[in-house]
């Protein structure tokens, strides 16, 4: 530990306020490496990741007076926290920095982007502004990705960096995390996704770090499941045993005995059942029965876990939700089966008379009472996995002398539990910091990134299996002084399994981090081909003038606002397609004045076929565009639902022949984007077709206008309109034709001819 008798030496740098940052050699050394490389920084909570980011920001401000700095964080509270941090330490005029969140209007963000040098933002906002072409990253000298372990899959960090690397020759990245996980493949994926070519890892045991690490004292409080719970647990286990036997008998689960069937095996059974259902055109009924039984077993196992680790009130709420779902028409088969099971009904009846609550609540009350009797000005965070539990803990602690508890939950709302707004969250944190509240009862929303230095005790209501979340939770203490962590564990329950799983995974993560110091760089070289050499990167970059020239001839696609966050749109933006998001009455993409596209993922296509909405959608598409296109995206068209393949073929044939709509099948969003991009280039550049919302008929050529009018007749597709015009020669001749003459055209039967004749000849009656 750093002795208080030693004179503190402060960092001296331009743009840094005097005597504010303590000089720590490891921070300076890491910053020196990070300023030269795209760096992933792995540093335990409380050891100054943000200070290292600050040192990089200062270097960029010194060496690039005009370049922007983009500081990204996954949550709004973190964004506000980083802004306050920069204002606290930088001498730079506070007017030079700003925050972007969804609460700042897009047109205002565009203006702020042009005016400010430092922008702190949530990634989703920046992603939206890139897609809408409101901002470019070509003048950003540094992007900081906080909580970088999120940079996987479709998370916005991945898309932002992809565009950054394309638009900026001198782009520079700093990625930061305290808990990257224990899977080296996933860590490597994060590095590749953020173009990392250098990794700086420190653990609390490293010699240059250990002197700054404050001790965390761990203790465990074991409680026993109350005897009053035994009868309910026996009934639930009996109901579960019955379903596990069924799954075992139909060979969905392979196990020597029912007692050895774990939650993991149940989840594996679910995958096996779904895989079998999806692999067959007409799956047998037994598979759907098995799926319902597996779901029932999962719900019963969850109920057992809730009762054992959370208590009566929590499990009663869960069982009531199952009962309520069973009464709804849309309720699942598993909920209906459970609700009608005599064992389930008996459990609910018995629990309604159980007055004893879980002993963890008594233990929480005892721990907090004792703690504040000795530490009156301290702060405590209590973490609970479930919202319902956080409410129970709050009710137990309210009104007790010297304890001022507050509940801290996320923004999402349930029917009986409204979430907190961002303003409310910020207000609670500030009041907790000032001591207005001294106990924060928090769900997972408080795990990541909150800066609460005065917290000296963290209490886990239950262990959690995730090593990342475990590190984040206990990182809320021992930031500036020694801290204490207490974990409540119910004997003989999943609590014990989760605790040991977390310890094992964290140990593995530490081992992986040690190995990564030597091996990760080589892994990255193999994975990315040693990244782009500077010369190759420069060669592949477009110059600013090329971007300007492209803007003048930019291919544009109008996109329905509901598609805006899709992988298709992100992929098109990366191909330099201009996206114009609008609320479209018909279709998802407009390519030109004549081409409109409806995109349906396979599940959506099959759902709309089953609920009867598909043909109404394709009719509107046909009526709105002379060249309509339907894209069906993804695999499993004939295996994902229990629909006869002949019915699906019939549907596709009808869309093509009766409605004159071209159908294209694509593998994924990227392939869809590629197809749309090629089509837009052809329409707008080669065919010189303008892009407007359908309905601006003056943009159509003469033939298309004639077809458009005839397509307005009842049950007339584009193909049928062409046949009618070919046969009669003009619109006038079509309208003057008798029913018998209309039936001479291929595909026009008596019913369609009658409908057309009636529309054209019946007296117009104005509606009153």
CATH number at residue 389: 3.40.50.300
What's the burial of 65, exposed, middle or buried (CB within 10 Å: 0-12/13-18/19+)? exposed
Note whether 142 and 190 are same-domain residues: yes
CATH of the domain at 658: 3.40.50.10130
Residue 320 forms beta bridges with which residues? none
pLDDT in tens, 423-466: 888 889 889 988 999 999 998 877 765 566 567 899 999 998 87
Domain that holds residue 667: 553-695
Q: Is residue 534 part of a domain?
A: no
Note whether 722 and 666 are same-domain residues: no
Note whether 48 and 173 are same-domain residues: yes
Cα Rg of the chain, angstroms: 32
Q: Is residue 533 part of a domain?
A: no
Note whether 587 and 678 are same-domain residues: yes
Q: Which helix (H) or strand (E) holds 121?
A: strand 118-121
The sign of the dihedral angle between the CA atoms of 68, 74, 80, 82 is negative
Count: domains in the chain: 5
Domain boundary among 351, 377, 409: 351
What b/e sequence results for 193-209 when a residue is b if at least 16 CB atoms lie within 10 Å of its CB, and e otherwise? bbbbbbbbbbbeeeeeb
What count of Cα atoms within 13 Å lies in the side-chain half-sphere of residue 672? 25
Note whether 684 and 714 are same-domain residues: no
Note whether 59 and 149 are same-domain residues: yes
CA–CA separation, 433 and 564 (whole Å)? 39
Domain boundary among 312, 332, 351: 351
Note whether 634 and 761 are same-domain residues: no
Note whether 245 and 191 are same-domain residues: no
Note whether 187 and 292 are same-domain residues: no
CATH of the domain at 265: 1.20.1320.20
Domain boundary among 651, 671, 695: 695
Q: Is residue 382 part of a domain?
A: yes
pLDDT at 224: 95
Report the phi/psi class of residue 141: left, alpha or beta, with left for phi > 0 and alpha for psi in -120 to 50. alpha
For residue 389, give every residue at least 6 positions away whose Cβ sits within 8 Å of its Cβ, in sequence order, or none: 310, 311, 314, 461
Under DSSP, is residue 644 helix (H, G, I), strand (E, B) or coil? coil
Q: Is residue 530 part of a domain?
A: no
pLDDT at 454: 60
Nearest to 627 by CA among 572, 587, 667: 587
Q: Is residue 148 part of a domain?
A: yes
- Average pLDDT, whole number, for the chain? 86
Q: What is the mean pLDDT of each run of 10 residues along the chain (768 residues)?
A: 57 91 92 93 87 96 91 90 93 92 89 95 94 91 95 93 91 90 78 90 84 84 94 95 89 77 86 80 82 93 94 92 90 92 95 92 95 90 92 93 91 77 84 92 75 77 82 72 90 90 77 64 57 44 46 77 88 86 90 93 90 87 92 89 84 93 94 94 87 55 80 78 90 91 89 88 71
pLDDT in tens, 344-358: 999 999 999 998 999
Q: Is residue 17 part of a domain?
A: no
Supply 198's token pair: 């250098």
Q: Is residue 544 part of a domain?
A: no
Under DSSP, is residue 609 helix (H, G, I), strand (E, B) or coil? helix
Q: Which residue has 């720590």 as its token pair?
A: 24
Supply 508's token pair: 């593995």
Tally helices (H) and strands (E) across the chain.
Answer: 31, 19
* Whether the predicted model's global pTM rises above the 0.75 cut: no
Note whether 202 and 62 are same-domain residues: yes
Note whether 345 and 460 are same-domain residues: no
Q: Is residue 516 part of a domain?
A: no
Note whether 686 and 572 are same-domain residues: yes
For residue 501, give every residue at least 6 positions away whose Cβ sits within 8 Å of its Cβ, in sequence order, or none: 465
Nearest to 53 by CA among 30, 76, 75: 30
pLDDT at 521: 60
């Amino acid at each position: 530990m750093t002795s208080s008798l030693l004179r503190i030496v402060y960092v001296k740098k331009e743009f840094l306020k005097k005597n504010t940052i303590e000089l720590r050699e490891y921070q300076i050394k890491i910053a020196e490496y990070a300023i030269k490389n795209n760096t992933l920084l792995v540093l335990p909570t409380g050891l100054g990741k943000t200070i290292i980011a600050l040192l990089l920001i200062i270097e960029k401000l010194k060496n690039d007076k005009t370049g922007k700095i983009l500081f990204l964080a996954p949550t709004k509270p973190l964004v506000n926290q980083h802004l306050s941090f920069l204002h606290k330490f930088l001498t730079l005029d506070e007017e030079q920095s700003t925050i972007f969140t969804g609460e700042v209007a897009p047109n205002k963000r565009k203006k702020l982007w042009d005016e400010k040098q430092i922008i702190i933002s949530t990634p989703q906002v920046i992603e939206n502004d890139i897609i809408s072409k409101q901002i470019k990253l070509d003048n950003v000298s540094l992007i900081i990705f906080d909580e970088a372990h999120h940079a996987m899959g479709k998370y916005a960090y991945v898309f932002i960096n992809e565009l950054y690397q394309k638009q900026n020759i001198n782009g520079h990245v700093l990625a930061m995390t305290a808990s990257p996980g224990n899977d080296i493949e996933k860590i490597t994926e994060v590095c590749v996704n953020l173009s990392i070519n250098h990794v700086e890892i420190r653990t609390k045991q490293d010699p240059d770090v250990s002197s700054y690490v404050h001790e965390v004292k761990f203790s465990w409080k074991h409680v026993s499941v109350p005897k009053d719970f035994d009868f309910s647990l026996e009934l639930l286990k009996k109901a579960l045993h019955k379903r596990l036997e069924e799954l075992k008998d139909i060979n969905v689960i392979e196990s020597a005995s029912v007692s050895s069937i774990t939650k993991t095996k149940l989840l594996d059974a679910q995958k096996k059942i779904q895989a079998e259902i999806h692999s067959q055109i007409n799956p047998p009924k037994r598979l759907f029965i098995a799926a319902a039984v597996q779901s029932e077993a999962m719900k019963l196992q969850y109920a057992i876990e809730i009762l054992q680790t959370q208590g009566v009130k929590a499990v009663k709420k869960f069982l009531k939700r199952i009962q309520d779902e069973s009464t709804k028409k849309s309720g699942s088969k598993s909920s209906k089966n459970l609700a009608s099971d005599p064992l389930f009904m008996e459990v609910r009846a018995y629990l309604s008379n159980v007055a004893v609550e879980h002993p963890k609540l008594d233990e929480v009350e005892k721990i907090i009472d004792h703690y504040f009797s000795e530490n009156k000005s301290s702060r405590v965070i209590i973490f609970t996995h479930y919202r319902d539990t956080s409410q129970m803990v709050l009710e137990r602690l309210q009104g007790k002398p010297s304890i001022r508890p507050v509940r801290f939950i996320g923004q999402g709302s349930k029917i009986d539990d409204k979430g907190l707004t961002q303003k409310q969250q910020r207000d609670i944190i500030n009041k907790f910091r000032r001591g207005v509240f001294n106990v924060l009862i928090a769900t997972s929303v408080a795990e990541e990134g909150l800066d609460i230095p005065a917290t000296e005790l963290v209490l886990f209501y239950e262990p959690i299996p995730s090593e990342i979340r475990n590190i984040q939770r206990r990182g809320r203490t021992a930031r500036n002084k020694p801290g204490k962590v207490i974990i409540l564990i119910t004997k003989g329950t999943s609590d014990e399994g989760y605790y040991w799983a977390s310890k094992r995974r964290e140990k593995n993560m530490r081992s992986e981090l040690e190995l990564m110091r030597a091996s990760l760089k080589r892994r990255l070289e193999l994975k990315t081909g040693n990244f782009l050499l500077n010369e190759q990167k420069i060669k592949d970059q477009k110059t600013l003038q090329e971007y300007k020239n492209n803007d003048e001839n930019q291919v544009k696609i109008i996109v329905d606002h509901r598609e805006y966050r899709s992988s298709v749109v992100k992929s098109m933006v990366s191909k330099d397609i201009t996206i114009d998001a609008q609320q479209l009455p018909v279709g998802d993409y407009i390519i030109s004045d004549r081409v409109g596209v409806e995109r349906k993922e396979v599940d959506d296509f099959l759902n709309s076929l089953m609920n009867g909405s598909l043909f109404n959608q394709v009719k509107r598409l046909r009526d709105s565009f002379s060249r309509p296109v339907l894209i069906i995206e993804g695999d499993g068209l004939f295996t994902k639902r229990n629909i006869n393949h002949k019915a699906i073929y019939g549907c596709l044939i009808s869309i093509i022949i009766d409605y004159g709509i071209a159908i294209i099948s694509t593998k994924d969003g990227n392939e869809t984007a590629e197809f749309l991009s090629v089509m837009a280039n052809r329409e707008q550049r080669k065919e010189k077709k303008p892009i407007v919302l359908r309905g601006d008929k003056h943009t159509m050529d003469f033939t298309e206008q004639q077809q458009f009018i005839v397509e307005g007749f009842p049950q007339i597709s584009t193909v049928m309109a062409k046949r009618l015009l070919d046969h009669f020669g003009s619109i006038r001749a079509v309208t003057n034709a008798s029913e018998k003459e209309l039936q001479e055209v291929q595909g026009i039967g008596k019913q369609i001819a009658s409908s057309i004749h009636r529309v054209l000849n019946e007296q117009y009656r104005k509606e009153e």
